[in-house]
């Protein structure tokens, strides 16, 4: 599902989106105009009366000059949507031993949704799916990515004889490191095998979700997305 990027230019929409970013504690990827380094930060507060938004001190500490009127380019994701905007620094203040920056609220926010639900890559953590095939054999697959609507996974080619498109994987267990397991039913929607000896990759969507399960999955995907962004930001900054 591809949707072309569009620009949000009305103030009420801009403020509503910034509030959602703030409330969600979405991680910002920040670049300082004229420099190549990448930093991480979060929006701390929005002051509509002064037309300013405050962000936390970029991490790792920015040694490049950030002064009044320096332009910062900010990128984030919210509910699977890629968002970017640019702001000029208004003031820099110190509180509780660290700096925060007040930026002018942007006049335009770029909004780009690449697919219906954003898929979080999980190569950086231990994630598996335990499931039962129609012959009652039990298997574990490596989960490669995840969204609130389904997962991508890899399974040894030798174990995929009965793995077919549209079959149901009832009462599967999703295990993500440092998180409680989640029980869910899935339906296989795609299967890809590049060579006979390599793992088979398959995509499956969640089915028959109860409200509690859907909420747990939403929380888990949001958490994993934040952790993934933090790891990527730290890797880039090294």
Domains along the chain? Answer: 6-116 (2.30.110.10), 120-229 (2.40.10.220)
Please compute the mean of the pLDDT values over residues 18-33 and round it to a whole number: 90
As a whole number of angstroms, the distance between CA 167 and CA 130 comes to 15
Least Cα distance to 204 among 172, 159, 160, 227 occurs for 172
Q: State the pLDDT at residue 97.
A: 67
Q: Token pair of 208, please?
A: 């028959």
Residue 119 has pLDDT above 80, yes or no: no
pLDDT digits (tens, 9 = 90+) for 44-54: 999 999 999 99
Q: What is the mean pLDDT of the chain?
A: 85
Q: State the pLDDT at residue 237.
A: 45
E-only strand ranges, the chain: 6-8, 28-32, 38-41, 43-47, 52-56, 71-78, 81-95, 98-104, 109-113, 120-121, 127-132, 138-146, 150-155, 168-176, 182-192, 200-207
Instruction: Rank 97-111, 147-161, 219-233 by mean pLDDT and report only the highest.
Output: 97-111
Q: State the pLDDT at residue 77.
A: 82
């Amino acid at each position: 599902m591809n949707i072309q990027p569009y620009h949000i230019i009305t103030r009420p929409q801009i403020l509503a989106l910034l509030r959602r970013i703030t409330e969600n504690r979405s991680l910002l990827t920040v670049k300082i105009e004229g420099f190549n380094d990448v930093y991480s930060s979060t929006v701390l507060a929005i002051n509509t009366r002064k037309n300013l938004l405050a962000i936390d001190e970029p991490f790792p500490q920015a040694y490049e000059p950030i002064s009044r009127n320096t332009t910062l380019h900010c990128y984030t994701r919210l509910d699977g949507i890629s968002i970017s905007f640019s702001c000029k620094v208004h003031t820099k203040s110190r509180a509780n031993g660290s700096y925060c920056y007040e930026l002018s609220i942007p006049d335009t926010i770029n909004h780009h949704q690449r697919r219906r639900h954003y898929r979080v890559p999980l190569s950086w953590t231990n994630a598996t799916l335990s499931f039962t095939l129609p012959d009652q054999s039990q298997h574990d697959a490596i989960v490669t990515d995840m969204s609130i609507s389904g997962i991508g996974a890899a399974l040894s080619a030798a174990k995929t004889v009965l793995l077919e498109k549209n079959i149901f994987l009832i009462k599967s267990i999703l295990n993500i490191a440092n998180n409680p397991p989640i029980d869910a039913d899935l339906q296989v929607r795609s299967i890809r095998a590049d060579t006979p000896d390599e793992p088979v990759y398959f995509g499956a969507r969640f089915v028959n979700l109860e409200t509690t399960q859907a909420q747990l999955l939403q929380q888990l995907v949001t958490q994993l997305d934040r952790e993934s962004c933090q790891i990527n930001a730290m890797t880039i900054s090294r």
